[in-house]
Structures are given as C-alpha cells and as structure tokens.
Structure 1
Amino acid sequence: MHASGTFTVKGFTPLEPPLSTGPETATAVSVAKLEKHFAGEICGHSTTVFTYALAPASDSGGYVAMESFEGSLHGRSGTFNFTHSATTAGADRNDESLTIIPSSGTGELAGISGGGAIRVDSDGIHHLRLDYRLGSGPQQSGEARQSGEAQQSGEQHAQRATDAADAERALPQVIVLNGGSSSGKSSVARALQEILPGIWLTFGVDTFIDALPGRGDSPRSGISYGADGSVSVTAEYRRLETAWYSAMRTLVQAGAHIILDEVLLSGGAGQRHLLSAFEGSSLLWVGVRCDPDVAADREASRGDRVPGMARLQASRVHDGVRYDIEVDTTTRSPGACAQLLADFVTAAG
C-alpha cells in the first residue's frame, strides 16, 4: 500500500551539551531533535533524532535520522519508527534511504514494514511517501488474524479493511474543520461546498457567536476576550453551545450533510464533547493548520479579530485532537486544501 503526505518541521533543538563523536573531521558531527507535523494520507506528528555532518562553507554533507511517528496512515491509527538518510552537495539530495523499522508498529499499525522516500519541492514543501505492508497486527475491522496465516492473506485482509473504511469515510455526515483563528477554515469550508458531491451546509463557531447578544460583543453574550487574544466563556454559553450542537445533530439525523467550522479551544476535550453531541453520526475530523506568523498577518489585515488570537490558538486548538486528515494553509490555497479533502472523502467512489 502507498501513502503520501506533506510535513513541516516545527522544532529543531541541537543536543546540549554537544555529543562527543570521536576523531575530528572536515564535517563536524552534530545531533539534534526535530518535531514534525504531517498532513494528507500520512497524518500525525513525529519526534526525530537527527545526526548530521555538514561543511559550513558549502552546506554539503549528510545525515542519518531515527523518527518516531504517531498518527494515522489511510485512517489506521498507531505508532511506528522509521529511519532515513541522505547526502547533499548543498542544494540536492543523494544516496537516499528510508526504511520502516520492523516490529515497531503499534495499534492498527502493528506489523507494519516497508520503505519510502522524502522529496523536497523547489518551493520548499516537504513530501513523504511510504510504501508499506501490514502483517499480523490488528486490522481496522477489528478482526484478529491467526498468527500462522501467510503474509499474502494478511495483506489482502488489510486491503479489504482499508477499502471498507474508505467506503464508510467517503460520505461522512459531518466534516469537522478545526483550526485557530485566521487559519483559513471558513474559506476551505466554502470551497468544499463547491466540489463535494451533493449539497452541504456549513456552520461554525462564528455562526453561533453571531446569534448571541451583540453578535458576541455584548456583556450578556457569555463570551469575553482578553487583551492577549485569549477567550473566556460562561457556563450559560456552554449550555447554549450544547443546545446548538443538538440542533446540528437534528439536521444530520434528518439527512443533511454539514461542514462544521470549529475552534476547539479545549483541544481534545472539545473533540470528546463534539463526539458526544453527535453520537450516532459519522464524523470526519480535519485539522486545519497555519504557521502562527502567517495567521497573525491575516488577523492584522482582517481588522475584526482581537490581536494575538491567531498566534495563541495556532497550536493550542490541536492539542490532544486526533484527525483523519490534516491540511496546512500556510502556502496552500483554500481551493487546493479543499480539493485535497474532497479527494480524500470521495476516494472510495
């Protein structure tokens, strides 16, 4: 099976104090820890131990990395390790290798093995492709495999489970777009309405706030904003929010398909609240990410947001939330993000 996605490096921390690596060479060896976020068919995050040797004058050298990934491949959740290496003459990648570590998989990715490749576009976008197999680990269908079955049979079962999951996912009743303020969720939602099969309704936190006293600006609205962009809500606001979700669920039960444009301020707790509110409905979870600096620039140009809100929410709303797929609007247009999501939703069709 093949899975592809894009990734961004969210942190690069050199090891301190520097590791003693033995004899001195023309390219000093260094070790760092990287944090990455992935979007697409490969969705999740990773921590990487990155060992590299570069010539400062030319940026030529090479690296070896051990990556610990947590997330999903084609909707299957779990963790695994993979190692990769490459050399460079300064602006290229040569002698590349990428291997999934056997026996490292957990959850629905238990038994994973295979390889892949990393590609960097001229515009700096990083791509990861994994060519993987699943052995006798748990399948998404939940059926246990007998330990003595042949690998071919296990792969066929895994493919059937993936096909069944894709078919169910092809027509979710609710698509939840979760991201911080000014991340581009509303624009992605509107673009999705134009390309998804059938007619989809879109509602979001702004729709709810606009219905409050003073469109959320009145002291009676139950919502207030701090000078730093923080948001506080009252118990009565939460009660009305629950009623709002109940109304959305009624629409879904009546046959409507809905795109929810959300800002889950409480992260994973907010996801659990939504899952409870829409119990019995099929939900597709989409993480909409954007670089905090870019989101802050959008916020400033809009003029209708409290300064600091975009930067404060950029990562906080994703804490503890598990997604089926993620998109990043930092460099990708709303239309391109919507097309990626539509392709994911309709893949089985």
Structure 2
Amino acid sequence: MKNTKILLVSDGGVTSDLMKKMFILDKYGAEVTMIEDKDMYAMGDITDRMLQLEKGGVDAVPTCKPLLNACMDKDIIVVHGSYINKEIINASKNLKVVAVLRDSYENADIEALTKRGIKLINAQWRSAYAVADFTVGMMIAANKNIAHSYKLICEGKWCKKYVNQEYIHDMRTCTVGIIGFGYIGRQVVQRLSGFGSKIIVYDPFMSPWDIAKAGYKPVTFEELLAQSDFVTVHMSLTEETNKFIGEKEFSQMKTTAYFINTSRAGIVDTNALIHVLQRKSIGGAAIDVFDEEPLPSDSPLIKLDNVTLTSHLAGISCDTMLNSVEIVLDDLKKYMHELPMQNIRN
C-alpha cells in the first residue's frame, strides 16, 4: 500500500528507541515520521493521566499539541499514552487507522472514530504476562503473609501468627474464581495450573460454552463468589463493569476468601471493600489499583491488617512495552499488505 503516511508518537513509556522499530514499515511503501509527547515523558505522568482519563473520559485530558500540529495529512497514527480525542480526529483529514500501544483503548474516542469509519487497533495482550505473574504473586503474598511479615520485620517484630492463621492453605487445595476470561484471565489460569488449584470461570461477556470449550468450568457469578478461596477480576472498565463488585457481591463470598484486583479500581466499590475488610467479612484482599493514586496517607486501607497493597505495579515489565510495539507492528504490516488486522476494536 503505497504513499501511506504514518505518524508515531513516542513518550516515556514507549520510548523513541522502541518506536523506531516501526520504521521498518518504510520497506512496505509507508512514509514514517515520529514525534515525542514530552508531557507524557515520565511513567508517573502517564499513570496520573490514565487515572484522569478513567474518571473524566478522553475529552477530560489536554490535547497533545505536537500531535495536533503533525496529524493533518496522516493515514495512520500510532500512540501509547497520548490521546486521540475529537480535536485530533477532526484535524486528521486522511486518517484511516489509529493504533494504541496499550491493552486498553480508553485514550481514543472510539465513538468519534467509528463515526468517521476510522479503524482502531490496540496491543490487547501486551501486559497479559506481566499482570498474570503479578496476580498469582498477590495471591501467594496475601495467603502466606509475605508482605506483612516483611513490614513487621522492618519494625523489629518477629511475627509467627497472623490474622489469617486459621485459613492459610496450599494453593493446590484452593479454588480460584476468575472473573473475565480474556487474555489476562487465561494467562492467570495457565500459571495456576502448575499449582494444581481448582479453576472456575465467569465472564459476563462470554458464553459458558466458550469457556467450557477452552477446557475450564463455567459457573454463574453467584456460584463463583460462593465457592472461591480467591476471587480475581480481569475485565476492562466500561459502563457495564463500573462498580461491578460491591457490598452485595462481597457478602456472597466466603468469610475466608481473598479478593484480588490487579485490573481497574472502578470495577470495585471501594467503600464496600473497605467495609468488608474492616468487619473481616472476607478473609483479605490484595489490591494494586486505587480510585486515587498515589493512595492518600489517610486511606482506611493502610490501617488494615488483612490487606496487601502495591502501587499500581502489575503491568510493569521491561517486556511489556516491547510487546506492544511488536503486536501493533504485526497488524500494520498486514494493513500494508491489504490483509485483515487481528486486533481491531471497532
């Protein structure tokens, strides 16, 4: 496909050095240029902007001016943390494809893109391995008190008895409930197979037949909550999944069960989670994502002895950013050869 103009927008996550791998598209007749979004240079800037985006939507964040100035004649725009809002879309007269180098695509206005007939692709599984590793680590840390013990040792305490002493189990005897059976959910299941855990699955957007066909036991949401020793959620944050888990759902869990969230904070009613942990109505929780980040020093979560907290680290890996470039690059090669792209979102 000749004379296709591609604009790459690097930042502190997907750096210019990583993004340069896409210049190979020159060999397929593309004209590739690159700019840098310096407002998204540090990873802290990126995660802060992501949280702002989750709360207010794509129009709540400022337009990247270098992108606005460079987009007018481009056929394809590739971004990582920068935003493809209505202002960018309206200015891009020739735009045919937007590629977001993330496993989600909240930083693109999918409604406006669809209205214009512009295809949106993303790196759907780029952090699946990292998040899956982290999720299983959080299960073990919560169950075996790894983080709690470290904290107490640093405080000069040698603790041998913890709040969950009566329900510390080997993973092989535990039932793990997976909510969301996409890329990350499946990778979590794959890792748990080595432990011998019993796996049950619920996905509100997937038929039980498809789950069973993949070799796992589909259950209702209520059955998953009632049977699981670990409940871990792996869904995108949408209108349908906002506050998907709240007081009612927590009340259906075992009093010894752990709740794990390495997905999105908005999927959970945080106040409800705090209340059940304070009352010890569930066994504990391990949380990597929060409504406000950094987590405020006066957060009730910090005072609890049945919760493991981490600072939004699940997707961080030296391999994640490279994965995202390789996934999207493969799709753009298909596009240049006029073949169907794999990761189309609209």
Length-normalised TM-score, structure 1: 0.27
Length-normalised TM-score, structure 2: 0.27
Higher helix fraction: Structure 1 or Structure 2? 2
Higher strand fraction: Structure 1 or Structure 2? 1
